[in-house]
Structure 1
Amino acid sequence: MIRKILISVIAVVVVALSFKYCEFKKDNPEELSYNTNLIQQQILNVGKLVVTEGHFAEVITYKNQQKYLMNMLSFEKKALLVVNVDVTVAYDLHQMKYDIDEKNKTITILNIPKEEIKISPDIQFYDVEQSKLNPFTGEDYNKINKQVRANLAKKIANSSLKKNAKNRLISELSQLFILTKNLGWTLKFEGNIIESETDLTQKIKL
């Protein structure tokens, strides 16, 4: 009988100590600080320049006509342009704004910088035809460059380049989500709780 009582007392003590240990572990400021440092380090790891590259090519025919003597005389200039363009879409995550709430174990992404699109065209002229009364000038080259960039903007918008860039961004942010989840923290973006990696794609609309 005494043996059973002793076993019961020991069991109660063990359970009580276990609860105390769990409570201590939960509120341990050293562990909280360690977790916070881990999250901040992961943000530094993610905080980099995410770059997606693409290449476009097109052929453009440029024509211009100058008319004189009430349109009775005209002088045309034209050229065949071969355009090769390198395009980069980048997210500079060094500029990402966030807030860490240690008390509630929550990290909130406040702002993700918009993508930066850089276009580097290489324009080659072929079959150039011009006259002394209507030669190619700097104004022509400016018009051509403007036209090329306008055409490229449409191509980029209709291509998968921006989508691929966003997928790379989501991939980087997923590393932060996985860490916060494993540590028992909550990740938010503009007030929305990120509960899965799919949420990153659905709720981070750029």
Structure 2
Amino acid sequence: MTAPSSDARLFLREFVRSPLTTAAVLPSSPALAAAMTAPIAAMAESVVPVVVELGPGTGAFTGAIRRQLAGRGRHLAIELSDVMADVLTARYPEVDVVRTDANDLCQVLADRDLPAADAVVSGLPWAAYSGPLIRTIAGSLAPNGTFTQFAYTWSRWAPPARRLLAGLRAAFDEVEVSRTVWRNVPPAVVYLARGPKS
């Protein structure tokens, strides 16, 4: 198992190897993980949630999700990189790690007899959203489901980021942008989307 202290080297190596499929050169901070998983914490205790991570990497958000779930519900992680998936599987054996593309989300849920996800937490790069992925995510969510995606503040005004935000607004009834999470390198914001449109 890769130790957490070596995650930065692993991220950098994977980013250099495949910059279009690895979103970051460093793992996300605990502060960003808390902001990304806040909707899970807000779920009622009576809910048995299904949470899906897209592009979990080495698990910066995974640990926060595990704490929020506190042993209840289902936790799936869809990871395309075999290297990252190996790390995640060793680190979090209780998580159902699926080695496939995020566009297969609906099929992954169907294969497990899960009708919908209650929350989707994404660490994917913007390049992943060039096709129908936003609609796929919206279609996989329960009516009151939530989707979170982060964006670095310095690049929020770039065309890919603007297309992502426009896509979220087209696919969801409500999209909120968080305050800047300064305790992340680089600083980031969280897009929180609710109410998937049919």
Common fold, TM-score beyond 0.5? no
TM-score by length of 1: 0.23
Which is strand-richer, 1 or 2? 1
Larger radius of gyration: 1
TM-score by length of 2: 0.24
